[in-house]
Amino acid sequence: MLSFLDGKFFGEVKHTKKMLESFGFFLAEMNVQLMQFNNDTIKAIKWPWDIQYLFLNKKYIDDIGNAKDRSLVQYFYNQFE
């Protein structure tokens, strides 16, 4: 979608109060509309980034190369459980 829209990316422009309010309003309106969206196929997918499926990512903890980072992730995973 972004490849054919004329204009600049959000991060490339000066952020004014009016623009941020407009963006916030747009996101709120989109959220309201999406709350009415009902699709069984999408609801059946277990997205790894969805907090209710955090357990899907436990197998990747040992892949974190930095021991301090790995320990931190393990700590918060244990808190979640």
Please state the domain count of the chain: 2
For residues 7 and 68, which has the higher predicted lDDT (pLDDT)? 68
Is 1 inside a domain boundary?
Answer: no
pLDDT of 3 reads 67
Residue 3 maps to a domain: no
Cα distance between residue 17 and residue 3, in whole Å: 26
Examine the pLDDT at 43 and tell me if it is beyond 80. yes
Instruction: Note whether 15 and 31 are same-domain residues.
Output: yes
Higher pLDDT, 3 or 48: 48
Question: What pTM does this model have?
Answer: 0.48
Residue 15 sits in which domain range? 11-41
Q: Distance from CA of residue 24 to its chain's centroid?
A: 16
R_g of the chain computed on alpha carbons: 19
Answer whether residue 6 is part of any domain: no
Same domain? For 75 and 52 the reply is yes
Tens of pLDDT, residues 3-26? 677 888 888 999 999 999 999 999
Q: How many CB atoms lie within 10 A of CB 73?
A: 16
* CA dihedral angle for residue 50, residue 55, residue 56, residue 61, rounded to 10 degrees: 110
pLDDT of residue 5: 74
Considering the domain architecture, whether residues 33 and 52 belong to the same structural domain is answered as no
